[in-house]
Structure 1
């Protein structure tokens, strides 16, 4: 499998280099609007949007940005697959698996190091449920194909249950919060900053987070067509993500103050959420996709994925390579 991914990565790299050379001969001077999709939990992209940093860095490439917000990762990558986006901001590790099953031609641009405590299974404080095993027969809300979906499957398996043992309710984070608060669901599986908001604003308990169950890595992706055509743009995006990730961890209060009006959350809640995310941006290597295969196999075993996939059947962007 490593040989397969190495060949695919080499082909993608050669294609990117060739495309980069073509743009260097005049194509890159043409105006370009880069369609970038993101969601509320796309912290680094949200900060770059507020600061206007990415636009400034892309201006020398004669490129501008159009911003497109989505409720969760699955519709974001569906838009990427349908060629309605060029780049996807970070989505949980589960989401690309579903996109691959739908036939998407993906290039992995970057990943954030694991943040397992940044998603959790919640119950109300007065709930009689005391363990994941108690979820048997209960109604559990979560976003379909989100990292929370895999956390639930993995936690149930660890507790000796299967996904078929619960009553699933596919809900966006906003709808999940509303259903949770009115008692329409028994438990809610969600990620930060929605997790931190619930912990600070409602009376909740954590049944389990991802620690020792699901590492929760987040990936930045592009359509392979765009990655081959504009590696220069992806290098700028990667560099700004890496820089911003370091800045957030070094300046938690300043980052929270910037995000507060954007997210509609108080700064303390955002600090709590950000403390659980690694924001350590790094290139994607084949070895890092091992958990992707475990996720894919888990969903396929539960008959939640339409077909078996090879998680290595993707292209990997190499930010250090320059086009000639």
Structure 2
């Protein structure tokens, strides 16, 4: 009898160990999320620690990584350095078309990154005036793709300008130091340049905007679907808080991004937070923008960009959360 009881006890312990191991395998060791100065919800989340609270009971730590542009966020996702990255929509399309297996699972906002900036005393007044000029833009980001679309709209090509490939902050600095003639900017850097240096927007076209996507990798979403929902739920909490607390949001953005309060307020007036579920509106915007990727040979010849967009945009998780 004692041997039987011993065997039963050993079997029970083995079963408990197996269950514990299986449970551990069903959750990640940590959640790695980027924050970006162009994504106010990420700054609010980081400030209040809501993601940390969400995963505290599971003993899953949250790691924050700064993304200085869509190109950096996409590089981090592709290398496995982060699980969630904040990017512009068209930049995400370009990255997926070139082999980065990501999913756009939430719209954190429609930020301002569709404008061309010149110094306050510049003689440049229009996109056509950029011909033969030196223009800064960060490759692989929406401002760069916006620049190309704006040139094409005026019958110009990228070879008609001298492109200076600079990260966003460096582009602003180069503009204000007179090292480039124009800059394809984004907020909050663009708002800061306007207010602090008197820089001017010579062209702005919100219809070219392809929204701010929160992306995750296909492998993470496949392995941890419930954790994707929980991250989105935290982002949704931040979005609703922003809508209810615009003044406090501006203070958080100013402090986190080290901006003046007027700059943060200007940035927020050019952010739109109304439609967080990826869907038809966002797909239309991406498909309208997609031809530039083919025309400029930024994707492999023969790439079905519309299919890439359909594969990228995945509302499954957001639909389950957003009410």
Same fold (TM over 0.5): yes
Structure 1: tracts of 5 or more residues without a match: 1-21
The CA distance in 2 between the partners of 1:138 and 1:70, in whole Å, is 29
In the alignment, what sits opposite 2:316? 318
Shift in CA distance, 32/315, structure 1 to aligned 2, threshold 3 Å:
farther
What TM-score, normalized to structure 1?
Answer: 0.84
Q: What does 1:170-189 align with in structure 2 at a 5 Å threshold? A: 170-189=165-184
Shift of residue 160 of structure 1?
Answer: 2.2
Work out which of the residue numbers 23, 33, 37 in structure 1 matches 2:34: 37
Shift of residue 28 of structure 1?
Answer: 6.6
Q: What does 1:1-324 align with in structure 2 at a 5 Å threshold? A: 26-27=23-24, 32-88=29-85, 90-112=86-108, 114-115=110-111, 117-212=112-207, 214-285=208-279, 288-307=282-301, 308=303, 309=305, 310-314=308-312, 316-319=314-317, 320-321=319-320
Partner deviation per Cα, 1:207-241 (whole Å, 9 max, x = no partner): 111234x0231100101111111122211221221
Shift in CA distance, 315/292, structure 1 to aligned 2, threshold 3 Å:
closer
- Contact 1:92/1:217 (8 A) holds in 2: yes
More strand by share: 1
Radius of gyration: which is bigger?
2
- Contact 2:29/2:60 (8 A) holds in 1: yes
The CA distance in 2 between the partners of 1:132 and 1:26, in whole Å, is 57
- Determine which structure has greater relative contact order: mean sequence separation of CA pairs < 8 Å that are 6+ residues apart, divided by chain length: 1
Shift in CA distance, 23/289, structure 1 to aligned 2, threshold 3 Å:
farther
The CA distance in 2 between the partners of 1:133 and 1:91, in whole Å, is 28
Partner deviation per Cα, 1:261-319 (whole Å, 9 max, x = no partner): 21111112101101110123522236632332343321221123345333223361512
The CA distance in 1 between the partners of 2:113 and 2:92, in whole Å, is 19
Shift in CA distance, 232/195, structure 1 to aligned 2, threshold 3 Å:
same
The CA distance in 1 between the partners of 2:95 and 2:20, in whole Å, is 29
Query: Which runs of structure 1 show a deviation greater than 6 angstroms over 4 or more consecutive aligned residues?
Result: 22-25
The CA distance in 2 between the partners of 1:73 and 1:118, in whole Å, is 11
Aligned-residue CA RMSD in angstroms? 2.4
- Contact 2:101/2:218 (8 A) holds in 1: yes
The CA distance in 2 between the partners of 1:35 and 1:218, in whole Å, is 18
The CA distance in 2 between the partners of 1:58 and 1:301, in whole Å, is 45
The CA distance in 1 between the partners of 2:27 and 2:128, in whole Å, is 58
In the alignment, what sits opposite 1:12? none
Shift of residue 32 of structure 1?
Answer: 2.4
